[in-house]
Amino acid sequence: MDYVLEVERTLLAATPKRWSVGSAVPGETREASFSLTNSGPTLANVTYLGMMENVETEVWTGSIGDKVIWTVPIEVPENVTRFGLGLSWDDPDSDLALLLFNQNGRPVDVSYGEGEAGEEVGASHPVPGVWRAIVYGYHVTTRSRQPFELEATFYVQETWEWVRATGPGRLDSGTSGRLNASIAVPPNASSEGLEGYIQVRSDHDRFTIPVSLTVAGASLTGTSTTDLIDEDGDGLYEELCIEVGVEVTAPGEYRVEGSLLDGNRSAIGWLGSTKLLEEDGSIEICVNGSEIWKSGGCGPLSLENLFLYSGEGDIIDRFEGNITILKCPQDFQPIPARFTGRYLDLTLSGKEPGEKPSSVIIGVEVDVQTPGRYEIAGRLVDEDGFEIDAAEVAASLEAGVQMVNITFDPIRFTMLGEPSRLHLINLTLSREGEVIERVDEAISTESRSPEEFTMAKKIYVISPPPST
């Protein structure tokens, strides 16, 4: 027989069906026991082995002419469970065929489809040795030669040295036996998720029990410290930081994530932070105080669903408890001012019928918590994204909701000579040079015509907020 199709025997059943080890730390040993029930013929000379499958690939590139053959020898290694060979090329009008020959030179698989730029062949449990692939230029049209890529994928079985499994050497028909297995994670193992299996082999049959394991090089200690930061000493917190204790057995990059909830159990935010930990330590996750002020309803705050992730993104630990912060959202620093989301095109407001405006005026509504000097800046673009003008307004604003007008020069719009809607974009609200809010697209005006504007010399006014 040149190759064997793997047949999963359903007559032998394991209970439980799989071993989900969960997370284990380096140096730890876990054990499990399985009941094996043989409903089929007697199995003799039964052995038990931990196995893993590694994927190995090899790539060739070439080009081929019409009705021409290209061939390559392929070294098939030992212990391959599956061998796949994929051919791809870029021109869907070309049609190539792919043939696979075994170590005895016999054809094993062939693939020739129409209307797709790819072929696939393969074999299960291929006999090791030199196999051969042939690419045939069945129909090469648009060019004299069609370039292609050929990729071989080998699923190679290897012994999983961490796993020990023992069980009865003979399983008579209609009987049950017990399989005992242990998995010993080496002390120097790194954090990762692993998949393998225990293989039960008899003279003629193979049966597998899947094994999954996450090597957890760290765990949450369950301890944390909360830090409330009031930078300007006004009694309101700009930042909340929580340091979460992490016990480290394997150095590496780790991430802590959790959700911050308010007293009504509505989410303020999902927080996370990543840190490289060489030894036991902590990971600090911080949240901006104004975010809590803006999103939270009432106290107390609570950090829940704390998860620890490995650098590969596997969940390796979960903290069952909650971290309660006995503060209300109102204890945090309010956002000094924000856009309400209301914008008005005031270009024609206050104009007599027939009177032509000399500028585009957009009113931007701002809700101010902290009175003071603010800057509002934005760009006016046409439908093609062409910038008509950029403008900035600096104004001293009182507490409360108010409209601030931004004035744009329409001269570039009138020079373009094409009617267009005008869009206020990249709108920012700044205080002391620091942007506190940003809106990508604020308002789009009705379609404006360049003739609507006066070409007379304009007087620029930086408008103060209207007293309302």
Residue with tokens 């006016």: 380
CB of 236 to Ca ion, least distance (A): 4
Residue with tokens 């809010």: 437
* 236 counts as binding Ca ion under rule CB under 5 A: yes
3-state DSSP call for residue 124? strand
Nearer to Ca ion, 28 or 230 (CB): 230
Nearer to Ca ion, 230 or 314 (CB): 230
Nearer to Ca ion, 83 or 237 (CB): 237
Nearer to Ca ion, 251 or 334 (CB): 334
Amino acid, res. 280: D
CB of 332 to Ca ion, least distance (A): 8
Nearer to Ca ion, 75 or 234 (CB): 234
φ, ψ of residue 298 in degrees (nearest 5): -145, 170
Query: How far lies 428's CA from each of 347, 364, 437, in Å?
Result: 20, 11, 6
Burial of 193: CB neighbours in 10 Å, binned 0-12, 13-18, 19+: middle
* 68 counts as binding Ca ion under rule CB under 5 A: no
Count, residues near Ca ion per rule CB under 5 A: 5
CB of 333 to Ca ion, least distance (A): 5
- The answer to whether the beta carbons of residues 307 and 256 sit under 8 Å apart is yes
- The answer to whether the beta carbons of residues 324 and 300 sit under 8 Å apart is yes
Structure tokens at 59: 């790539």
CB of 370 to Ca ion, least distance (A): 11
- Nearest Cα neighbor of 139 from 178, 120, 113, 164 is 113
Q: Interface with Ca ion by CB under 5 A: which range of 13-21, 47-55, 65-73, 223-231?
A: 223-231
CB of 328 to Ca ion, least distance (A): 15
Nearer to Ca ion, 293 or 319 (CB): 293
- Nearest Cα neighbor of 9 from 32, 34, 42, 35 is 42
CB of 399 to Ca ion, least distance (A): 17
3-state DSSP call for residue 358? coil
Structure tokens at 110: 């062939």
Nearer to Ca ion, 236 or 436 (CB): 236
Q: Interface with Ca ion by CB under 5 A: which range of 66-74, 98-106, 232-240, 376-384?
A: 232-240
Nearer to Ca ion, 26 or 334 (CB): 334
- The answer to whether the beta carbons of residues 290 and 278 sit under 8 Å apart is no
**Stretch 417-436: interaction string toward Ca ion, x if CB under 5 A:** --------------------
Task: Looking at residues 309 to 348 of the shown chain, list those that interact with Ca ion (rule: CB under 5 A).
Answer: 333
- The answer to whether the beta carbons of residues 429 and 387 sit under 8 Å apart is no
Amino acid, res. 288: N
CB of 229 to Ca ion, least distance (A): 8
φ, ψ of residue 243 in degrees (nearest 5): -95, 125
Nearer to Ca ion, 290 or 405 (CB): 290
3-state DSSP call for residue 413? helix
Interface with Ca ion (CB under 5 A), residue from 151, 230, 367, 437: 230
Q: What is the C-alpha radius of gyration for the chain, rounded to an integer number of angstroms?
A: 35
Q: CA triplet 350, 355, 360: central angle to 5 degrees?
A: 65
**Stretch 171-210: interaction string toward Ca ion, x if CB under 5 A:** ----------------------------------------
* 232 counts as binding Ca ion under rule CB under 5 A: yes
CB of 267 to Ca ion, least distance (A): 24
Q: Interface with Ca ion by CB under 5 A: which range of 86-94, 230-238, 393-401, 438-446?
A: 230-238
Nearer to Ca ion, 232 or 352 (CB): 232
- CA 244 to mean position of chain CA atoms: 23
- Which residues sit at the interface with Ca ion, rule CB under 5 A? 230, 232, 234, 236, 333
